[in-house]
């Protein structure tokens, strides 16, 4: 069975401010149910950047065995395509409860959500909210009502083509409104 894995390797903020409390809202195709997506917030607590970091946070270091921030791992879809959206957010609240952000998304999608599940895409402890595909466009509207700053949206959509035949990991770099995100897709057979 072929599996695919998504990790975030680093993030660079393109704003003059030097103090950030970052988190990610992830939306991905449901691994087993057509017409559904899953949503989560990561990490459990916001990532704090201070002037020392120079607006860069490196998850994947050059050290042996170092990995990026794990997002998900799942069976390769039959279509060999996987749709993942990443919203980068800055918390304006020093004690932001990211579980509450997920609950806000759930309550903002009345009739379009199916509850919270765990142990769904290789993450036994991370809660994921199951939603309809047509609700994906509403997630941004719900996030706009939360007083946190929107740092950018990144599509991590991947079509697993021939480049994955010759290498097991492919790095991608994409810009959001105020950030650049480097993430990697890896394939394991």
- The 10s digit of each residue's pLDDT in 6-57 is 999 999 999 999 999 999 999 999 999 999 999 999 998 899 999 999 999 9
Q: Where are the alpha helices (DSSP H) in 19-126?
A: 98-108
pLDDT band for position 81 (cuts 50, 70, 90): very high
pTM of the predicted model as reported, rounded to 2 decimal places: 0.94
End-to-end CA distance of the chain: 6
Euclidean distance between CA atoms 86 and 68, whole angstroms: 15
How do residues 125-144 score in pLDDT, each as one tens digit?
Answer: 899 999 999 999 999 999 99
Specify the 3-state DSSP secondary structure of 76: coil
Specify the 3-state DSSP secondary structure of 60: coil
Euclidean distance between CA atoms 139 and 169, whole angstroms: 30
Instruction: Please report where in the chains the tokens 């946070």 appear, as a residue.
Output: 57
Q: Does a cis peptide bond (omega within 30 degrees of 0) precede residue 43? A: yes
How do residues 158-187 score in pLDDT, each as one tens digit?
Answer: 999 999 988 889 999 999 999 999 999 999
Q: How far is CA 51 from CA 14, 20, 21, 57, 88, in A?
A: 13, 9, 12, 11, 19
Where do the domains of the chain lie, and which CATH numbers do they carry? 3-188 (2.60.40)
What is the chain's Cα-based Rg? 16
Beta strands in 76-118 (DSSP E): 81-82, 84-90, 113-117
Q: Can you say whether the dihedral through the CA atoms of 131, 176, 98, 139 is positive or negative?
A: negative
Token code pair at residue 178: 């105020």
**Do the bridges between strand 128-132 and strand 36-49 make them parallel or antiparallel, or are there none, so unpaired?**
antiparallel
């Amino acid at each position: 069975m072929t599996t695919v894995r998504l990790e975030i390797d680093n993030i660079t903020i393109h704003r003059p401010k030097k103090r950030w409390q970052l988190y990610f809202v992830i939306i991905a195709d449901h691994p087993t149910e057509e017409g559904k997506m899953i949503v989560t917030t990561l990490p459990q607590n916001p990532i704090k950047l201070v002037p020392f970091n120079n607006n860069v946070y490196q998850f994947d270091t050059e050290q042996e065995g170092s990995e990026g921030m794990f997002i998900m791992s799942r069976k390769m879809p039959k279509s060999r395509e996987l749709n993942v959206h990443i919203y980068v957010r800055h918390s304006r609240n020093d004690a932001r409860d990211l579980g509450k952000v997920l609950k806000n998304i759930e309550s903002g999608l009345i009739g379009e959500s199916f509850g919270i599940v765990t142990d769904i895409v290789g993450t036994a402890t991370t809660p994921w909210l199951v939603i309809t595909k047509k609700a994906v466009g509403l997630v941004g509207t719900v996030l706009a009502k939360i007083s946190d700053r929107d740092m950018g949206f990144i599509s991590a959509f991947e079509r697993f083509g021939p480049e994955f035949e010759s290498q097991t990991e492919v790095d991608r770099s994409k810009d959001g409104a105020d950030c650049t995100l480097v993430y990697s897709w890896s394939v394991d057979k």
